[in-house]
Chain A
Amino acid sequence: MAKATFRIWRGDVNEAQFVDYETEVSEGMVVLDAVHRIQADQANDLAVRWNCKAGKCGSCSAEVNGNPKLMCMTRLNDLPLDQPVTVEPMRAFPIIKDLVTDVSWNFKVKEKMKPFTPRPPDAEDGTWRMEQEDIDHVQEFRKCIECFLCQDVCHVLREHDLHDEFIGPRFFVYAASLEMHPIDTENRLEELKDSDGIGYCNITKCCTKVCPEHITITDNAIIPLKERVVDQFYDPIKKLFRIFKG
């Protein structure tokens, strides 16, 4: 069996560094398998989050060779194993220990957003009628597994640390899933413009590129939300002026 070296970030907020572990690799293995093997054989106290191991729960987010990835969906045969594979925690969040970061900010952001508020039911049995084609795009947003890789890679959070003024791509997707929900009656555009900071996004599409669920975050969620904000808050005459000015 072949061997490979994994350079794993070990430590906490006080002290941390990369530690090299050599372990056996076999056909079909993913990064999470290697991390588990190292944990079982060489580093029992290694901290790593995981659950489903099938790309469905979004727990095992990390940076593999510098790229934001789900460890359970990153195959070793897609990586150059003649050099060490680096595995480190998501850098946009404070570290707890080893590969585990404090993502609690995300949960707080969601709690502050206006919840789903349906219109009265369409039918007497308390149900609604919705066309499949009207919910297709919302279902795309609802594929989100909350791995927070989009948050990790977003420069507004990662480089500029604007966590207090900007909710990040995950929550624009969430907002879009509510705003475009055929039976939701709430309006979240004012918050999106002000406290949620949608204006900070300059559509570099980094989030879309890393989404393991292949949600077209920028094109389908953020840009339409930006358009709605513009439509609601900016004077139509000025808007016309802007169009003419190009």
Chain B
Amino acid sequence: MASYETFDYDVLIIGAGGAGLRAAIEASTSDLKVGLVCKSLLGKAHTVMAEGGVAAALANVDERDSWRVHFADTMRGGQYLSNARMAELHAKESPDRVRELEAWGALFDRTQDGSILQRNFGGHQYPRLAHVGDRTGLEMIRALQDHGIHQGIEVHMENTITTLLKTGDRVSGAFGYEREKGRFKIFSAKAVVLATGGVGKAYKITSNSWEYTGDGHSLAYHAGAELIDMEFVQFHPTGMVWPPSVRGILVTEGVRGEGGILKNSEGNRFMFDDIPELYVNQTADNPEEGWLYTQGDREARRPPELLTRDHVARCIVREVHEGRGSPHGGVFLDIAWIKEKISNAPEHIRRKLPSMYHQFKELADIDITEEPMEVGPTTHYIMGGIRVDADSQMTCVPGLFAAGECAAGLHGANRLGGNSLSDLLVFGKRAGEYAAQFATENGNVPLEEGAIDEIAQHVLKPFDNPEDGDNPYEIQAQLQEKMQELVGIARSQESLTQALEEIQSLREKADNVHAIGNREYNAGWHTALDLDCLLTVSEAIALAALERRASIGAHSRDDFPEKEEPGAGKYNTILQKADDGTMAIRRESVPELTEEYQQIIEEIG
């Protein structure tokens, strides 16, 4: 042990996006020693890319909004597979979490009377998203970062955790490396919070960065925690499709919130052609009503472009498959058309959607105030993840907590836009609070030293593998191709079975990838190590997708188009590592909704 640099914390947070930062801030309000480890520099985590806004029933723009409506919207959006208690806590607490950001320096756009402005978004009944133009995530992460750096948190930037350490049943710390020199670090901790984000890098077309390799999911799984509903991967309907190098980069839902419409190559607004039963009453049946809704008309119903993301993505795929796509395999998203409605349209668009304007202007030579964008689905978010207790965010492993995208329960089968930024604030805070409490109530656990040398050896294996071993980038690319092709928007028993076989064979290759060079800031070595996590989450997604023989929310099976499997009822899929090291799957029925919850849902409609 003497050969490793060791750090002792009461609470260790892994990940410094919104959830990790919020958890760290909360944990540091007690007199505890808090460590924060992140793969990138501080303030660069994926939260920075969130555009549209943070959902909170502040009721600043429409006083009819309340936590009850937000709760009902979230449950409906998740196809009633969400953990209702989490949906309740989330809806009740997100307004306070947003207000508190303002106390830490965040500056949201304002209403006429000077309070926080809110905008419309898919699946939300009232204008609910607090925002800053289309750079809300940047504002949030900066407010958390600038507040957090004064709270006595020790930050380890550009460090990657490869393994959680356990002592008996309890988590006791983590093992990782720092990028700069490739040196190992050991973190001992009484409680650990995972806030590592998502898994998008398992797919070829994604809005996610290199960091999104499912680290937290994989760390938790190997430590004995359960993963829940991993089949629900959100394909955001509007990613850029052209030019090829930017394929997958996100185009915010805010474009549609501001009046943007989707059209096929025949100029048809195809979203009017297919409105799901669950939403017929809430959806406009003509373009004029949809436009009025985006302009704040309280009597108007939302345009079909603002239906939930799973549905919009499927409709776009249908248009493309049936030959009505745009030249580069997407559909058209048009915001320029609003010049028919308002006089200063170009200026209005540039003000409301500044980063979209620049993104298309600079990367695609498209002026969105003049011409339509080409868009198509992109892997964006995973609803499934580490199973946690709704109140405390603790997993079934004592001392191990999870929050934000890597945790699961709030979003069910589909997440509403804006509910992620609020999720990470509400449950980041809770995870930090309960991890601190756990650390206070439970003493130190000694690290099991024997295991550490073995971990270190494993981490160095890519250097020791034969030089003719595969290139780690090549294996990563092959995995991404296969996941895109076989475990994407349309799935079947055949594609998923094949995917599991492919994953198995890639795992063997991954075990033998060779890293060239030395340990200093070596991206090839890091990519080789990330493969472990990517393969674990890929297997989890494919296995859960095979288990759910139905098409619901973000999960679509060509061979099982019905929403429910006859006689199966509503269930969650649960994955856990079996004693023999294989991935075991089982179903658990979704608990009956309490009377109170049921009443709210019926009342809101």
Which of B243, B358, B518 is close to A55, meaning CB atoms less than 8 Å apart?
B358
* A47 contacts across to B, CB distance below 8 A: 520-523
CB distance from B375 to the nearest CB of A (A): 14
CB distance from A191 to the nearest CB of B (A): 15
CB distance from B209 to the nearest CB of A (A): 4
* Contact bitstring B225-249, A, C-beta under 8 A = 1, else 0: 0000000000000000011111001
* A111 contacts across to B, CB distance below 8 A: 149-150
Q: Are the CB atoms of A44 and B516 closer together than 8 Å? A: yes
Q: Are the CB atoms of A116 and B520 closer together than 8 Å? A: no
Q: Are the CB atoms of B114 and A130 closer together than 8 Å? A: yes
A100–B179 CA distance with the chains assembled, in angstroms: 11
Q: Are the CB atoms of A45 and B523 closer together than 8 Å? A: yes
Give residues of chain A (118-144) contacting chain B, Cβ–Cβ below 8 Å. 118, 121, 125-132, 135, 138-139, 142-143
* B146 contacts across to A, CB distance below 8 A: 110, 115-116
Q: Are the CB atoms of B105 and A116 closer together than 8 Å? A: yes
Q: Are the CB atoms of B49 and A45 closer together than 8 Å? A: no
Q: Are the CB atoms of B41 and A142 closer together than 8 Å? A: no
Give the nearest-CB partner of B518 in chain A: A45
Q: Which residues of A contact B (CB under 8 A)?
A: 12, 26-30, 33, 39-41, 44-59, 73, 75, 96-98, 100, 103-104, 107, 110-111, 115-116, 118, 121, 125-132, 135, 138-139, 142-143, 145-146, 178, 181, 184
Which of B103, B139, B246 is close to A118, meaning CB atoms less than 8 Å apart?
B103
Which of A26, A59, A129, A145 is close to B113, meaning CB atoms less than 8 Å apart?
A129
Q: Are the CB atoms of B245 and A52 closer together than 8 Å? A: no
B380 within 8 A of A: no
* A115 contacts across to B, CB distance below 8 A: 146-147, 150
* Segment at the interface with A among B449-457, B470-478, B576-584: B470-478
Count, chain B residues at interface, CB 8 A:
67
* B524 contacts across to A, CB distance below 8 A: 39, 44-45
Q: Are the CB atoms of A56 and B49 closer together than 8 Å? A: yes
Q: Are the CB atoms of A44 and B99 closer together than 8 Å? A: no
* A29 contacts across to B, CB distance below 8 A: 243, 245
Q: Are the CB atoms of A48 and B523 closer together than 8 Å? A: yes
Q: Are the CB atoms of A132 and B49 closer together than 8 Å? A: no
* Residues A49 and B40 in contact in the complex (CB < 8 Å), given A55-B358, A75-B363, A135-B110: yes
Q: Are the CB atoms of A28 and B243 closer together than 8 Å? A: yes
Q: Are the CB atoms of A44 and B471 closer together than 8 Å? A: yes
CB distance from B256 to the nearest CB of A (A): 19
Which one of A40, A129, A178 has the greatest number of beta carbons of chain B within 10 Å? Answer: A40
* Residues A51 and B477 in contact in the complex (CB < 8 Å), given A26-B245, A127-B116, A139-B132: no
Given contacts A28-B363, A51-B210, 19 further A-B contacts (CB under 8 A): A29-B243, A30-B245, A39-B473, A47-B523, A53-B249, A55-B362, A73-B362, A96-B520, A97-B520, A107-B157, A110-B146, A110-B149, A115-B147, A116-B105, A127-B99, A127-B115, A128-B114, A132-B109, A139-B132
Q: Are the CB atoms of B244 and A75 closer together than 8 Å? A: no
Give the nearest-CB partner of A26 in chain B: B244
A33–B363 CA distance with the chains assembled, in angstroms: 12
* Residues A130 and B110 in contact in the complex (CB < 8 Å), given A40-B473, A45-B525, A125-B99: yes
* Residues A56 and B520 in contact in the complex (CB < 8 Å), given A110-B149, A127-B115: no
A55–B517 CA distance with the chains assembled, in angstroms: 30
* B45 contacts across to A, CB distance below 8 A: 51
* B157 contacts across to A, CB distance below 8 A: 104, 107
* B107 contacts across to A, CB distance below 8 A: 130, 135, 138-139, 142, 181
A111–B209 CA distance with the chains assembled, in angstroms: 27
* B249 contacts across to A, CB distance below 8 A: 53-54
B492 within 8 A of A: no
CB distance from B133 to the nearest CB of A (A): 8
CB distance from B166 to the nearest CB of A (A): 31
Q: Are the CB atoms of A27 and B520 closer together than 8 Å? A: no
CB distance from A224 to the nearest CB of B (A): 17
Which of A12, A52, A129 is close to B209, meaning CB atoms less than 8 Å apart?
A52
Instruction: Please name the 4 residue pairs, one residue from A and one from B, whose CB atoms are nearest each other, closest first.
Output: A28-B243, A44-B524, A45-B517, A129-B114
* B209 contacts across to A, CB distance below 8 A: 50-53, 57
Which one of A30, A54, A121, A143 has the greatest number of beta carbons of chain B within 10 Å? Answer: A54
* Residues A58 and B472 in contact in the complex (CB < 8 Å), given A97-B520, A132-B109: no
B42 within 8 A of A: yes
Which of A26, A126, A132 is close to B103, meaning CB atoms less than 8 Å apart?
A126
Which of B100, B137, B355, B364 is close to A28, meaning CB atoms less than 8 Å apart?
B364
A135–B527 CA distance with the chains assembled, in angstroms: 43
Q: Are the CB atoms of B521 and A27 closer together than 8 Å? A: no
* In the complex, number of A-B residue pairs with CB atoms less than 8 Å apart: 168
Give the nearest-CB partner of B103 in chain A: A118
A132–B131 CA distance with the chains assembled, in angstroms: 13
Q: Are the CB atoms of B522 and A45 closer together than 8 Å? A: yes
B48 within 8 A of A: yes
Give residues of chain B (156-194) contacting chain A, Cβ–Cβ below 8 Å. 157, 180
Q: Are the CB atoms of B523 and A44 closer together than 8 Å? A: yes
B138 within 8 A of A: yes
B142 within 8 A of A: yes
* B258 contacts across to A, CB distance below 8 A: none
Give the nearest-CB partner of A48 in chain B: B523
Q: Are the CB atoms of B515 and A75 closer together than 8 Å? A: no
CB distance from A42 to the nearest CB of B (A): 10
CB distance from B491 to the nearest CB of A (A): 27
Give the nearest-CB partner of A117 in chain B: B105
* B363 contacts across to A, CB distance below 8 A: 28, 30, 54, 73, 75
Q: List 12 A-B contacts (CB under 8 A).
A: A12-B520, A40-B473, A45-B518, A56-B49, A97-B520, A100-B521, A107-B41, A116-B105, A128-B102, A128-B114, A129-B113, A181-B105
* B477 contacts across to A, CB distance below 8 A: 40
Give residues of chain B (504-549) contacting chain A, Cβ–Cβ below 8 Å. 515-518, 520-525, 527
CB distance from B523 to the nearest CB of A (A): 6
CB distance from A147 to the nearest CB of B (A): 10
Give the nearest-CB partner of A143 in chain B: B135
B461 within 8 A of A: no
B335 within 8 A of A: no
Q: Are the CB atoms of A142 and B142 closer together than 8 Å? A: yes
Q: Are the CB atoms of B110 and A28 closer together than 8 Å? A: no
Give the nearest-CB partner of B473 in chain A: A40
Which of A28, A51, A59, A98 is close to B246, meaning CB atoms less than 8 Å apart?
A28
Q: Are the CB atoms of B472 and A44 closer together than 8 Å? A: yes
A115–B474 CA distance with the chains assembled, in angstroms: 46
Which of A98, A128, A143, A184 is close to B521, meaning CB atoms less than 8 Å apart?
A98
Q: Are the CB atoms of A59 and B44 closer together than 8 Å? A: yes
A40–B150 CA distance with the chains assembled, in angstroms: 39
A47–B526 CA distance with the chains assembled, in angstroms: 11
Q: Are the CB atoms of B522 and A50 closer together than 8 Å? A: no
A73–B107 CA distance with the chains assembled, in angstroms: 26
Which one of A33, A57, A130, A184 has the greatest number of beta carbons of chain B within 10 Å? Answer: A57
B211 within 8 A of A: yes
* Contact bitstring B328-360, A, C-beta under 8 A = 1, else 0: 000000000000000000000000000100110
Q: Are the CB atoms of B43 and A146 closer together than 8 Å? A: yes
CB distance from A22 to the nearest CB of B (A): 18
B104 within 8 A of A: yes
B499 within 8 A of A: no
* Residues A44 and B245 in contact in the complex (CB < 8 Å), given A55-B358, A57-B49, A96-B180: no
A45–B523 CA distance with the chains assembled, in angstroms: 5
CB distance from B398 to the nearest CB of A (A): 33
A141–B215 CA distance with the chains assembled, in angstroms: 34
Q: Are the CB atoms of B115 and A129 closer together than 8 Å? A: yes
* Contact bitstring B31-44, A, C-beta under 8 A = 1, else 0: 00000000011111
* B210 contacts across to A, CB distance below 8 A: 50-51
